[in-house]
Amino acid sequence: MIKRARLRLSFLALVVLASVAGCSSADPTNLESIVDGDYPQNSLNPAGPQARQIDDLFWMVFWIAVAVFVLVMLAMLVAIVRYRHREGRDRPVKQVHGNTRLEIVWTIIPALILAFIAVPTIAAIFDLRSPPEPGDNALEIEVIGHQWWWEFRYPEYGFSTANEMHIPAGRPVFLSMTSVDVIHSFWVPQLNGKRDVVPGRISNLTIQADAPGVYLGQCAEFCGLAHADMRHRVFAHDEADFEAWALAQAQPALIPTEGPAAGGWDTFQLVCAACHAVDGTEATAQFAPNLTHFASRTSFGGATFDNTEEHLRQWLRNPSAMKPMDPDRNDLASGRILGMPDFGLTEEQIDGLIALLDSLK
Amino acid sequence: MATMNPVIEEAVAAPHGSGGLWSWVTTTDHKRIGVLYGVSAIMFFIVGGVEALLIRTQLALPNGDVLSADAYNQMFTMHATTMVFLVVMPAAAAFTNYFLPLLLGARDVAFPRLNALSYWVFFFGGLFLTISFFVGGAPDGGWFGYAPLSTQVGEVVRMDYWALGLQILGLASVLSSVNFITTVFTMRAPGMTLMRMPVFAWMAFVVSFLLLFSLPIVTVGLFQVFLDRNLGTLFFSAAGGGDPVLWQHLFWLFGHPEVYVLILPAMGIVSEVLPVFSRKPLFGRSFVIFSGIAIGFMGFGVWAHHMFTSGLGPVAEAAFALTTMFIAVPTGVKIFNWIATIWGGALRFKTPLLFSLGFIAMFVIGGLSGVTHSVVPADSQQHDTYYVVAHFHYVLFGGAIFGLFSGIYYWWPKITGKLLNERLGKVHFWLMLIGFNLTFAPMHILGLAGMPRRTYRYPKGLGFEFWNLIATVGSYVIALSIAVFLVNWWRTTRRGEAAGNDPWDGRTLEWTISSPPPHYNFDTVPLVHSEDPFWHEKYGEDEAGHAVPAVAASSGQPQAGLADEEIHMPSPSYYPALTAFGLFISLIGFVYVPVGLVAVAGGLLVTLWGLFGWSMEPLTRDGHE
Amino acid sequence: MSAVTHADPTEHAGHPPMPHVRKVAMWAFLGSECLFFGTLISTFLLYRNRTGDGPAAADLFDIPFTSISSFILLMSSLTMVLAHYASERKDARRMRIWLLATALLGMTFLAGQVFEFTEFVEHGLTVTTSPFGSSFFVLTSFHGGHVAIGVIMLLATAFMSFGGKLRSDGGMNVELVGLYWHFVDIIWIVIFTVVYLLQV
Task: Give contacts of C47 with chain B, Cβ < 8 Å.
Answer: 235, 241-242
- Encode burial over B22-56: b for 16+ CB neighbours within 10 A, e otherwise: ebbbbbbbbbbbbbbbbebbbebbebbbebbbbbb
The pLDDT mean for chain B works out to: 93
Instruction: Tell me the domain boundaries of chain C.
Output: 18-47+65-199
The ipTM is 0.94
Is C169's pLDDT higher than 90? no
Is C10's pLDDT higher than 60? no
Determine whether the interchain pair C32/B223 forms a contact, defined as Cβ–Cβ distance below 8 Å. Answer: no
**Closest Cβ opposite residue A103 in set B142, B284, B453:** B284
pLDDT of res. B618: 78
The answer to whether the Cα torsion of B523, B528, B533, B536 is positive or negative is negative
Determine whether the interchain pair C2/B554 forms a contact, defined as Cβ–Cβ distance below 8 Å. Answer: yes
pLDDT, average across residues B554-563? 40
pLDDT of res. C163: 65
- Whether B107 and chain C come into contact, CB under 8 Å, resolves to yes
Determine whether the interchain pair B450/A42 forms a contact, defined as Cβ–Cβ distance below 8 Å. Answer: yes
Determine whether the interchain pair B238/A200 forms a contact, defined as Cβ–Cβ distance below 8 Å. Answer: yes
pLDDT of res. B11: 41
The answer to whether the Cα torsion of B502, B504, B509, B515 is positive or negative is negative
pLDDT of res. C6: 45
Residues of A numbered 73-102 whose beta carbons fall under 8 angstroms of chain B's beta carbons: which are they? Answer: 73, 75-76, 79-80, 83-85, 90-99, 102
pLDDT of res. A8: 62
pLDDT, average across residues A119-135? 96
Report how many Cβ contacts below 8 Å link chain B to chain C.
164
Range in A111-125, B13-27, B463-477, B490-504 with the lowest mean pLDDT: B13-27
What residue in B sits closest to A187 (Cα-Cα)?
A: B381
Distance from CA of B29 to the nearest CA of A (A): 35
Q: Label residue A91 by pLDDT band (50, 70, 90).
A: confident
The pLDDT mean for chain C works out to: 89
- Whether A20 and chain B come into contact, CB under 8 Å, resolves to yes
What residue in B sits closest to C16 (Cα-Cα)?
A: B186
Q: Cis peptide leading into A134, omega within 30 of 0?
A: no
CB atoms within 10 A of CB A10: 10
Is C193's pLDDT higher than 70? yes
Range in A184-198, B26-40, B553-567 with the lowest mean pLDDT: B553-567
Is B112's pLDDT higher than 80? yes
Determine whether the interchain pair B244/A96 forms a contact, defined as Cβ–Cβ distance below 8 Å. Answer: no
Distance CA A134, CA A142 (A): 18
- Whether B184 and chain C come into contact, CB under 8 Å, resolves to no
Judge whether B82 and B48 are in contact, CB under 8 Å: yes
Q: Label residue C14 by pLDDT band (50, 70, 90).
A: low
Percent of residues, chain B, with pLDDT higher than 70: 94
Distance from CA of A339 to the nearest CA of B (A): 14
pLDDT of res. C46: 96
Q: Which residues of chain A form beta strands (DSSP E)?
A: 139-146, 149-154, 159-162, 164-168, 173-179, 184-186, 195-197, 203-207, 213-218, 231-237, 299-300, 305-306
What residue in B sits closest to A101 (Cα-Cα)?
A: B284
Chains C and B in direct contact, meaning 3 or more beta-carbon pairs closer than 8 angstroms: yes
CATH superfamily for C18-47+65-199 is Cytochrome c oxidase, subunit III, four-helix bundle (1.20.120.80)
Judge whether A24 and B62 are in contact, CB under 8 Å: yes
pLDDT, average across residues B571-591? 96
Task: Give contacts of C16 with chain B, Cβ < 8 Å.
Answer: 186
CB atoms within 10 A of CB B397: 20
Is B408's pLDDT higher than 60? yes
Task: Give contacts of A23 with chain B, Cβ < 8 Å.
Answer: 57, 60-61, 64-66
pLDDT of res. A32: 83
Determine whether the interchain pair C18/B106 forms a contact, defined as Cβ–Cβ distance below 8 Å. Answer: no
| B279 backbone φψ class: left, alpha, beta (φ>0; ψ -120 to 50) | left
Give the mutation candidate from B76, B306, B309, B480 for the A interface (greatest A CB count, under 10 A). Answer: B309
pLDDT of res. C187: 98
**Closest Cβ opposite residue B231 in set C3, C25, C128:** C128
Question: What number of CA atoms fall less than 13 Å from residue A297's CA on the CB side?
Answer: 29
Output DSSP code: residue B574.
Answer: S
What residue in B sits closest to C41 (Cα-Cα)?
A: B220
A150-153: which pairs have CB atoms within 8 A and are 24 or more residues apart?
Answer: A150/A186, A150/A219, A150/A230, A150/A232, A150/A302, A150/A303, A151/A286, A151/A289, A151/A290
Q: Label residue B422 by pLDDT band (50, 70, 90).
A: very high
pLDDT of res. B222: 98
pLDDT of res. C167: 56
Task: Give contacts of B302 with chain A, Cβ < 8 Å.
Answer: none
Q: Label residue B623 by pLDDT band (50, 70, 90).
A: very low
Task: Give contacts of A114 with chain B, Cβ < 8 Å.
Answer: 325-326, 328-329, 371
pLDDT of res. B18: 53
Is B308's pLDDT higher than 70? yes
Instruction: Note the pTM of the prediction, 2 decimals.
Output: 0.94
Chains B and A in direct contact, meaning 3 or more beta-carbon pairs closer than 8 angstroms: yes
Range in A81-95, B364-378, B551-565, C139-153 with the lowest mean pLDDT: B551-565
Q: What is the pLDDT of residues B463-521, one digit of tens each?
A: 999 999 999 999 999 999 999 999 999 999 999 999 999 999 999 999 999 999 999 99
Run of H or E including A50 = helix A49-82
Task: Give contacts of C40 with chain B, Cβ < 8 Å.
Answer: 220
- What are the backbone angles phi and psi of residue B226, rounded to the nearest 5°? -60, -45
pLDDT, average across residues C21-32? 95
Q: Label residue B617 by pLDDT band (50, 70, 90).
A: confident
| A78 backbone φψ class: left, alpha, beta (φ>0; ψ -120 to 50) | alpha
Rg (CA), chain A: 27
Is B14's pLDDT higher than 80? no
Q: Label residue C173 by pLDDT band (50, 70, 90).
A: confident
- What are the backbone angles phi and psi of residue A214, rounded to the nearest 5°? -115, 130
Distance CA B112, CA B119 (A): 11
**Closest Cβ opposite residue A23 in set B61, B69, B244:** B61
Is B152's pLDDT higher than 90? yes
Is B563's pLDDT higher than 70? no
pLDDT of res. A28: 77
DSSP assignment of A91-147, as one string?
A: ---B-----HHHHHHHHHHHHHHHHHHHHHHHHHHHHHHSPPPGGG-PEEEEEEEET
Give the mutation candidate from A102, A116, A121 for the B interface (greatest B CB count, under 10 A). Answer: A121
- Whether B46 and chain C come into contact, CB under 8 Å, resolves to no
Task: Give contacts of A51 with chain B, Cβ < 8 Å.
Answer: 381
Helix B422-448 and helix B386-395, axial crossing angle in degrees, nearest 10? 150
Determine whether the interchain pair C14/B178 forms a contact, defined as Cβ–Cβ distance below 8 Å. Answer: no
What residue in B sits closest to A178 (Cα-Cα)?
A: B238
Report how many Cβ contacts below 8 Å link chain A to chain B.
356
Task: Give contacts of C7 with chain B, Cβ < 8 Å.
Answer: 190, 524-525, 527
Q: What is the pLDDT of residues A257-301, one digit of tens each?
A: 999 999 999 999 999 999 999 999 999 999 999 999 999 999 999
Is B270's pLDDT higher than 50? yes
Distance CA B354, CA B301 (A): 33
Q: Label residue C3 by pLDDT band (50, 70, 90).
A: very low
Distance from CA of B573 to the nearest CA of C (A): 19
Rg (CA), chain B: 25
In chain A, the domains with their CATH numbers are: 36-71+103-230 (2.60.40.420), 260-359 (2.60.40.420)
Q: What is the pLDDT of residues C55-90, one digit of tens each?
A: 999 999 999 999 999 999 999 999 999 999 999 898
**Closest Cβ opposite residue C25 in set B111, B220, B568:** B111
- Whether B242 and chain C come into contact, CB under 8 Å, resolves to yes
Q: Is C64 helix (H, G, I), strand (E, B) or coil?
A: helix
Distance CA B58, CA B68 (A): 9
